[in-house]
Amino acid sequence: SQQGEEDPQALSIQEGENATMNCSYKTSINNLQWYRQNSGRGLVHLILIRSNEREKHSGRLRVTLDTSKKSSSLLITASRAADTASYFCATDPITQGGSEKLVFGKGMKLTVNP
Amino acid sequence: DGGITQSPKYLFRKEGQNVTLSCEQNLNHDAMYWYRQDPGQGLRLIYYSQIVNDFQKGDIAEGYSVSREKKESFPLTVTSAQKNPTAFYLCASSNRGAYNEQFFGPGTRLTVL
């Protein structure tokens, strides 16, 4: 079942600009994670934010989490052509028994033009 | 190098044949997962295993089977019962208790001829 929904589904920007992606989800979560996928490759973990955190930074990445609105945003600052990829949010939902499954969104394709 | 490997990278199958996709990890992770990805789509969970000799169905388990006889290995068999098996298959692993951060293999692209 899909929980995360990324918005927009596609974004095209120029190198040096900032890129913002949003993710909405439906149920209570332990944490929310963002992953990146280059074309034809596996996913790579970017950043994780726990449910009791509101903002987190890692290099050029900034992620925010609003649990009251069940939404998150990922900001990539000073984008580079190498940031061109698909980005997925994944939620770790709170469940009885604590099963360790992530629920992935459909992804958002970012194109950074040189 | 620690990591997760999948083989083969590309796989072609005739209709009616079973095929097995390999997934191996040397990260000493307890949990392993199989996902299916269709073009322009997100990941859908096929099966997952939290411990050796145990596994659970995901959202789209029909037509697939798995085994978990060793901690480092989690092969996926795509059976002839899977109606539309052409897809990109991703294997992942995670360390229990580590916020469920998942590490992914490079994927296997399966094409049914």
Residues on chain A touching B88 (C-beta within 8 angstroms): 40
Beta pairing partners, B101: none
What tens digit of pLDDT does each residue of A46-75 get? Answer: 999 999 999 999 999 999 999 999 999 999
Name which of B35, B90, B101 is nearest A45 (Cβ-Cβ). B101
* Distance between CA atoms of residues B69 and A102, nearest Å: 23
* Distance between CA atoms of residues A58 and A103, nearest Å: 22
Q: Could you give the 3-state DSSP secondary structure of residue A95?
A: coil
pLDDT at A1: 39
Do residues B19 and B77 lie in contact, with contact meaning Cβ atoms separated by under 8 Å? yes
Task: Calculate mean pLDDT across residues A27-55.
Answer: 95
CB contact under 8 A, A41 and B56: no
Rg of the Cα atoms in chain B: 13
Q: Give the CA dihedral A32, A36, A42, A47, nearest 10 degrees.
A: -40
Q: Could you tell me which residue, A79 or A100, shows the higher pLDDT?
A: A79
Among the listed residues B104, B108, B93, the one whose alpha carbon sits nearest the alpha carbon of residue A35 = B104
Task: Calculate mean pLDDT across residues A81-110.
Answer: 88
User: Which pLDDT band holds residue A37 (cuts at 50, 70, 90)?
Assistant: very high
CB contact under 8 A, A31 and B100: yes
Name which of B6, B42, B101 is nearest A106 (Cβ-Cβ). B42
Q: Does A41 touch chain B (CB under 8 A)?
A: yes
Beta pairing partners, B65: B77
Percent of chain B with pLDDT over 70: 97
Q: Does A54 touch chain B (CB under 8 A)?
A: no
Q: Is the pLDDT of residue B2 over 80?
A: no
Residues on chain A touching B6 (C-beta within 8 angstroms): 42
Return the sign of the alpha-carbon dihedral for residues B12, B15, B19, B23. Answer: positive
* Distance between CA atoms of residues B27 and A98, nearest Å: 22
What tens digit of pLDDT does each residue of B15-68 get? Answer: 889 999 999 999 999 999 999 999 877 899 999 999 999 999 999 999 999 999
